[in-house]
Structure 1
Amino acid sequence: MEFNFLAILVAAIAPILIGFLWYNPKTFGNSWMREAEMTPDKMKSGNMAVIFVLTLLLSFVLAFFLQQLTTHQMGAYSLAQGELGETANYKAFMEEYKNEFRTFKHGALHGILAGVFLFFPVIAINGMFERKSWKYIFINSGYWIVSLAVMGAIVCGWI
């Protein structure tokens, strides 16, 4: 499987850009701050440079593995017999199906599925134990569903 590191990097930037919009006071920012019990002073207490660098790094890791989730050709590796990429069956499969389901729409679909069936349950479980409101859970889950849809579209469709 070939990795498109430029697409992965662009996808890693997407959650940061979406976050600026999603958590803006004109969208969900004020509601999120209230539900998260976040204050302006608490917001200022963090080292934003470190937070954004680590966010970019972790988003890169997420985008890297999201590419494998959205690209079905990864399954061909598990079907290959012997050394990966060395069998005639594997090479024939990749020649015929290399770009099947490699679209922005397909990647967005898998990003949404990952958001709904992987991220939402984790955020909801944590939120319930932290005694956060469902509004808080839906704001954060919605952000990740949208972010993963955009990230999935980028890493899958950008061949």
Structure 2
Amino acid sequence: MPFNFLAVLAATFVTLIVGFIWYSPKVFGTIWMRETGITEEKAKQSNMFKIFGLTIFYSFMLSFIMPTLVVHQMGALGLIGGDPALAKPSYAAFIADYADAFRTFKHGALHGFMAGLFIALPITAINALYEQKSWRYILINAGYWMVSMMIMGAIICGWK
């Protein structure tokens, strides 16, 4: 069960695609702008190269760690120290029997959603509480991360 770098790379771009839809004026963009206090004029002054470049970088970081959250077999690999060549024969037998167990897009989406719910939501909510933001702001941003992580998890877990 090798690390699927192409799946991680594909999942990296999920945050951009979901963000273009999620934060568009027809979905949550108008409400989000009102909740953040950002105006159209202020948004146009942004350094988009910097924003998109760092978004891709940070999304790659998130995608890189996602296999440990959504692929059960990564846990077995961790138990042997990460190098299958040094493993006992029981590891090879285990992987032969269970290499594809729970390796579906649906299962990855479930784990991605749980990661969004139990990691992204609390982080987003804590920051927003200190920033004195509304619950609408929290739900829009946390919802974005839950959907993004759900799709990322589906890609990473289901792409064998």
User: Same fold judged by TM-score > 0.5?
Assistant: yes
- Alignment CA distance shift 1:140-1:93 (3 Å): same
Alignment of 1:42 with 2:51, yes or no, is: no
Output the CA distance in 2 between the equivalents of 1:116 and 1:125.
13
- 1:30 Cα deviation from its structure 2 partner: 0.2
- 1:54 Cα deviation from its structure 2 partner: 1.1
- 1:84 Cα deviation from its structure 2 partner: 3.6
Alignment of 1:56 with 2:62, yes or no, is: no
Structure 2 partner of 1:92: 93
Structure 1 partner of 2:105: 104
Structure 1 ranges of 4+ moved more than 3 A:
none
- Alignment CA distance shift 1:83-1:75 (3 Å): closer
Q: TM-score, normalised by structure 1?
A: 0.94
RMSD value over aligned CA atoms? 1.4
Identity, in percent, stands at 53
Equivalences for 1:1-159 in 2 at 5 Å? 1-80=1-80, 84-85=83-84, 86-159=87-160
Output the CA distance in 1 between the equivalents of 2:13 and 2:146.
15
Structure 1: gaps of 5 or more residues = none
- 1:58 Cα deviation from its structure 2 partner: 1.0
Deviates more, 1:60-69 or 1:136-145: 60-69
- 1:83 Cα deviation from its structure 2 partner: 8.2
Judge conservation of contact 2:33–2:39 (CA < 8 Å) in 1. yes
Output the CA distance in 2 between the equivalents of 1:83 and 1:116.
28
Structure 2: gaps of 5 or more residues = none
Output the CA distance in 1 between the equivalents of 2:118 and 2:69.
13
Amino acid at match of 1:126: N
Amino acid at match of 1:144: W
Output the CA distance in 2 between the equivalents of 1:83 and 1:142.
33
1:118-146 C-alpha deviation (Å, 9 max, x unpaired): 11011001001000000000000000000
